[in-house]
Structure 1
Amino acid sequence: MKAKDFDQQFEDGEDLTPYLDLSQAKRLGSDRQSISIDLPVWLLERINEEANRLGTTAQDVIQTSLAEHLAASEP
C-alpha cells in the first residue's frame, strides 16, 4: 500500500491493523521498575475504596493519579 493511501485510510478512521506487523510491537515507555513506598493507612484505604469504585486495582489508581498530576504540572 502506498503511504498516501495508508494516510487517507487513517484519516478516514479505517482499521489499519491488517496492514501492520504487530508481532514485535512495543509500547514506548512501558518498561517497568518496582518501588516500595510507605503510605499512611488512611490514604491506602482511600486508594482501595477508589479502586473498588472503579473496578480496578490500587496500583492502577496510584499510577493514573501520579500520571495525571505530573501531566497537569507540565509547563
Structure 2
Amino acid sequence: MTTQEFDKLFDEGKDITEFLDLKTARREELETKRVSVDFPRWMIQKLDQQAMKLGVTRQSIIKFWISEKLKSV
C-alpha cells in the first residue's frame, strides 16, 4: 500500500488499524503547560497574517511552527 492510498483511507474516515503495527505504536506526550511569551508587534502582525491566510488561529500556527522546528533539531 502506498502512502497516498493510506492517506486516502484515513481522510475518508476508514478503519486503518489493520495497516498499523500497534506493538510499536507510541503516543506522543500530549500534556500541555501554559507559557507566556512576549512578541514584538511586527511579529504578531506577521503571525496574524499567516494564520488568516491558512485559516487557523495564531496559537495554532505558533504551535505548529515550533513543533516543526523542534522535530528538525
Q: What residue number does 1:64 align with? A: 64
* TM-score of the pair, normalised by structure 2: 0.62
Instruction: Count the aligned residue pairs.
Output: 52
1:54 aligns with 2:54: yes
Distance 2:71 2:28 in 1: 17
Q: TM-score, normalised by structure 1?
A: 0.60
Instruction: Determine what percentage of the aligned residue pairs are the same residue.
Output: 29
| Unaligned 5+ runs, structure 1 | 1-12, 18-26
Q: Aligned Cα RMSD in Å? A: 2.0
The residue number in structure 1 matching 2:20 is none
Unaligned runs of 5+ residues in structure 2 are: 1-8, 18-26
Where does residue 23 of structure 2 map in the other structure?
none
Detail structure 1 runs of 4+ shifted over 6 Å in the superposition. none
